[in-house]
Chains A and B, each alone.
Chain A
């Protein structure tokens, strides 16, 4: 019986490897190198000792727009960067896909929306998105000062496009950061991200 199982398992494992989880909460977040909209190159490993937030972004996605048109995302960016957090907005839309932007277009958008991330990383090949298994916009990741992934999932617990849902929502990113900064373990370390699909190259 064991022998039979052993025979079957590698086939299934190979099948699932394609869609297997890219990163896992509680384990080291994979290092990456990416270029921001000002041409500056960032590596995750440079930011050891700091909390890092990754925010997957598509300005035209109604779920993203809910958080930007309400000012919610900018408020989070401002609050957490002022407390020493490195906040990367990441754009993984491929050229020709919704949400793809040039560096100049994105810089104008950041100014217009009064967004306040540390930097916006451009990922048109989807390399960073696939490395982290970013599924939706928004999809949020929080990495602690030891480089361990401590949160992977939705921005909050209201998976809608409705701006009215923001005030009563439970923000998982803020919760994770508050808890981790207080030396506590993160009570909700993973949730189902909600939003639009990330517009990777087909």
Chain B
């Protein structure tokens, strides 16, 4: 049931091609420096019309997974996910990536390393969908030399990492004020950035808080932007936080955690 993508190995990158995706395991650094964390990435180039998924896939699908086979003393961090898009899928909305995406993972090598070559092994599994969904997987081995010294060694993919970092959600600036007002059927997410913002899209990190397929109504107000988000049918308990990624008109993405103001909380405060 799973399409195995045959892998080819070149120095500093490992590639695999499946019917609908080309996947490369690449490194930002050209060499491993003992004790110095560096970034590797799983780079997907997708066939036109096909998509893969964000950490919260939305109404259908599942996010890619990576299992690492690393030498002793090496540690892989968790996947850093670029900001997704809303992808219509029949009557549903999925959150994911079309065309290409770089999923970045920090790798921490041990402080002491013998010179020579290091093999970083990864087994990646992903679901790629158009009308139909196909589970695919590949085993990729990335070979990197060990290099002592303080000068950072850059690989030829360094530029791709820099442009991909721009799509990574950043922590929301401290001066922003974010809150979500709970109404009967919706949340009004208010993001006060200090200036009017025309447009913004919200992507929830929790699966059961908002209705993915409901259109998001965004509107400017003097201090920022307000987005109305229909509550999820699965939301039976009041929530204290609405967490997710907000993508502004500029294309910049931020992680927000909005405290939820319940409808009766102001009344209670006035009463006491």
Are B133 and A153 touching (Cβ within 8 A)? no
Are B127 and A197 touching (Cβ within 8 A)? no
Q: Is B72 an interface residue (CB 8 A)?
A: no
Count chain A residues whose beta carbon lies closer than 8 angstroms to a beta carbon of B: 32
Are A190 and B131 touching (Cβ within 8 A)? no
Scan residues 122-140 of chain B and give those whose CB is less than 8 A from a CB of chain A.
Answer: 125, 127, 129, 131-135
CA A56 to CA B58, docked complex, whole Å? 18
Q: A153 with B234: in contact, given A15-B215, A159-B62, A199-B131 (CB under 8 Å)?
A: yes
CA A162 to CA B233, docked complex, whole Å? 27
Are A197 and B214 touching (Cβ within 8 A)? no
Q: Mark B56-77, 1 if CB is under 8 A from A, else 0.
A: 0101111000000000000000
Q: Is B175 an interface residue (CB 8 A)?
A: no
**Interface residue range, chain B:** 20 to 34
Are B90 and A199 touching (Cβ within 8 A)? yes
CA A197 to CA B215, docked complex, whole Å? 18
CA A194 to CA B60, docked complex, whole Å? 6
Are B127 and A62 touching (Cβ within 8 A)? yes
Q: Is A121 an interface residue (CB 8 A)?
A: no
Are A161 and B234 touching (Cβ within 8 A)? no
Q: Is B91 an interface residue (CB 8 A)?
A: yes
Are B207 and A192 touching (Cβ within 8 A)? yes
Q: A161 with B60: in contact, given A16-B230, A197-B90 (CB under 8 Å)?
A: no
Q: Mark A43-69, 1 if CB is under 8 A from B, else 0.
A: 000000000000000001111010001
Q: A21 with B233: in contact, given A135-B59, A192-B208 (CB under 8 Å)?
A: yes
CA A63 to CA B90, docked complex, whole Å? 17
Which residues of chain A are near B133, meaning CB under 8 Å? Answer: 61-63, 196
CA A159 to CA B234, docked complex, whole Å? 16
Query: Which listed residue, A65, A69, A135, A200, touches B60 by the CB 8 Å rule?
Result: A135
Are B62 and A160 touching (Cβ within 8 A)? yes
CA A160 to CA B127, docked complex, whole Å? 9
Q: Is B100 an interface residue (CB 8 A)?
A: no
Are A192 and B234 touching (Cβ within 8 A)? yes
Which residues of chain B are near A196, meaning CB under 8 Å? Answer: 60-61, 129, 132-133
Q: Is A125 an interface residue (CB 8 A)?
A: no
Which residues of chain A are near B90, meaning CB under 8 Å? Answer: 197-200, 202
Which residues of chain B are near A199, meaning CB under 8 Å? Answer: 90, 131
Q: Is B213 an interface residue (CB 8 A)?
A: yes
CA A99 to CA B223, docked complex, whole Å? 49
Name which residue of chain A comes closest to B132, CB basis.
A98
Are B131 and A97 touching (Cβ within 8 A)? yes
26 contacts between A and B (CB under 8 A): A12-B228, A16-B230, A19-B91, A19-B214, A19-B230, A61-B132, A62-B1, A97-B131, A98-B131, A136-B59, A161-B127, A161-B135, A162-B125, A190-B233, A190-B234, A191-B208, A191-B234, A192-B207, A194-B60, A194-B62, A195-B60, A196-B129, A197-B59, A197-B60, A197-B90, A198-B90
